[in-house]
Structure 1
Amino acid sequence: MNWRLAMPELAKSCRVIVPDMLGFGYSQRSADGHYSPERWVAQALGLMDALGLAQADVVGNSFGGALALMLAIQRPQRIRRLVLMGAAGVDFELTSGLDAVWGYEPSMDNMRRIMDVFAFDHTRITEDIVRSRFEASIQPGAQEAFAAMFPAPRQRWVQALASPEEAIRAIPHETLIIHGREDKVIPLSNSLRLCELIPRAQLHVYGRCGHWTQIEHAGRFARLVRDFLTEQ
């Protein structure tokens, strides 16, 4: 679970809600087999409504960063502050790492290769981590759902997750952008571009870090995000 280290630290000063999006993790699968950014954004808004949250801080990682951008653009009044970490959301050339992640087919060897793509420090990839993620990927319906989300050719899904640059320029929120310098999944250039586009953005780049900022620099990440969300 990508947020297992960050959640308890952030929960010391914030209410933390970590949903599985439709089709991911242990969430329900789409009854009609259809997945789209529009449906995921609607789910996020529906969750906020169900919990009685008129406004929230939103932290989006990777694919979730693209959804966080869409949410901020479509419903700016529902967002207080925005955190984007290794975020998609602008157009870029599909990386071999992202292509491998989206094309994952269940096996222990394939999961081990995917984990190596995510992390800069491969010593963090223990057999327990590989096995737990592999077992999650073979839950009933999990692979069928994942395969339906981003079938080849996959460049089109990068574009489907991208928001128009003029809409990104209009985002009014204080925004913290975080990226791992050695990220092989989402290029650092994405965050550089987002920092250029969003008027009230700040950017923090971690060296010796892949796509797992919240794991590889867990303490620093939690302090940075907590300070950003709680500053006056």
Structure 2
Amino acid sequence: MTTTENPAIGKDVEADGIRTNYLESGTGDDHVVLVHGSGPGVTSYANWRLVLPELGKDFHCVAPDMVGFGYSDRPVDVAYSLDTWADQTLGVMDALGIERAHLIGNSFGGGIALRLATQHPDRVRKLVLMGSMGVHFEITEGLDAVWGYEASFENMRRVLDYFAYSRELVNDELAQVRYEGSIQPGFQEAFSSMFPAPRQRWVEAMTVSEDALRALPHRALVMHGREDKVIPVSNSYKLMELLDNADLAVFSHCGHWSMIERTADFNRLVRDFFLGD
């Protein structure tokens, strides 16, 4: 999937003026674009490493690093916003000659997918929204801690505790790897500038109007971990009500990492959803 020894670094493309790192799996004309979440030190690889190999068996998958995250460029004059990230995602599709694609959005990435779909509905086939933003909610303690992360091993350990239901997934080794990822040159500086306190305003900045959501015609699969401490499961119930053509899957004993904590179920549901009528 990648061209370097670092599995998080793949190919790159100019997308809406931003040099964008992306991972790729599979081939063909049935395209899937995967948009990651907004945790400290996050990359597309960290979010989708267990998903890309499986979905790549049936689809051509592209997973970009959003500007300000991972190994994409961080222009000093960039304005981090929902429109910026949505335009970058569309720019990746344009640069790779992808006319229409299924979208998978994780958390913050769900808000981006929804914005892209409402602004360019003809470019989107089906939507998968996992632990998604995009609607109003009162910021959780978990999300406030994630967005307010200050780089240290101890803080990373505390943030990871919000993400997963299973304590087996959150250990010192993972915290060390993610901490080291968060302190690579430019990573923390960009991240800390995106969501300064008070952070409720950034929840609102990631929302899409309810009228626009009601007007979306796309088939959607809304997925959530029942024990999610970062994005409340009530978000997904709200999305199911607003989106006319949406189904809902809620995973028990699962936090904010459905694609990691319930990998086999996630991959199976998404594959069947995209391949179905």
The verdict on a shared fold, with TM-score over 0.5 as the criterion, is: yes
- Measure the CA separation in 1 of the matches of 2:74 and 2:178: 18
| Runs of 4+, deviation exceeding 3 Å | none
- Measure the CA separation in 2 of the matches of 1:34 and 1:164: 21
Contact 1:33 1:148 in 2 (8 A): no
Q: SS state of the match for residue 145, structure 1?
A: helix
Shift of 1:131: 1.8
**Residues 142-153 of structure 1 correspond to what in structure 2 (within 5 A)?**
142-153=187-198
2:157 corresponds to 1:80? no
Aligned pair count reads 232
Aligned to 1:27: 72
Letter of the 2:195 counterpart: F
2:148 corresponds to 1:106? no
1:163 equivalent among 198, 205, 208: 208
2:84 corresponds to 1:49? no
> Structure 1 or 2: larger strand share?
2
**Residues 87-126 of structure 1 correspond to what in structure 2 (within 5 A)?**
87-126=132-171
- Measure the CA separation in 2 of the matches of 1:215 and 1:52: 30
- Measure the CA separation in 1 of the matches of 2:89 and 2:221: 20
- Measure the CA separation in 1 of the matches of 2:160 and 2:213: 31
Q: What percentage of aligned pairs have identical amino acids? A: 56
2:51 corresponds to 1:6? yes
Shift of 1:212: 0.3
Shift of 1:205: 0.2
Contact 1:30 1:145 in 2 (8 A): no
- Measure the CA separation in 1 of the matches of 2:143 and 2:226: 16
Shift of 1:33: 4.9
* Partner deviation per Cα, 1:42-93 (whole Å, 9 max, x = no partner): 1011110000000000000000000000001000000001000000000000
- Measure the CA separation in 2 of the matches of 1:142 and 1:103: 14
Letter of the 1:228 counterpart: F
1:195 equivalent among 240, 257, 260: 240
- Measure the CA separation in 2 of the matches of 1:53 and 1:172: 20
Contact 1:34 1:148 in 2 (8 A): no
2:66 corresponds to 1:37? no
Moved more, 16-25 or 33-42: 33-42
Q: SS state of the match for residue 154, structure 2?
A: helix
TM-score when scaled to structure 1?
0.98
2:222 equivalent among 151, 167, 177: 177
2:273 corresponds to 1:231? no
2:114 corresponds to 1:69? yes
For the aligned residue pairs, the C-alpha RMSD in angstroms reads 0.9
Shift of 1:32: 1.2
Letter of the 2:218 counterpart: H
Shift of 1:31: 2.0
Shift of 1:122: 1.3
Q: SS state of the match for residue 128, structure 2?
A: strand
Which sections of structure 1, spanning at least 5 residues, go unmatched?
none
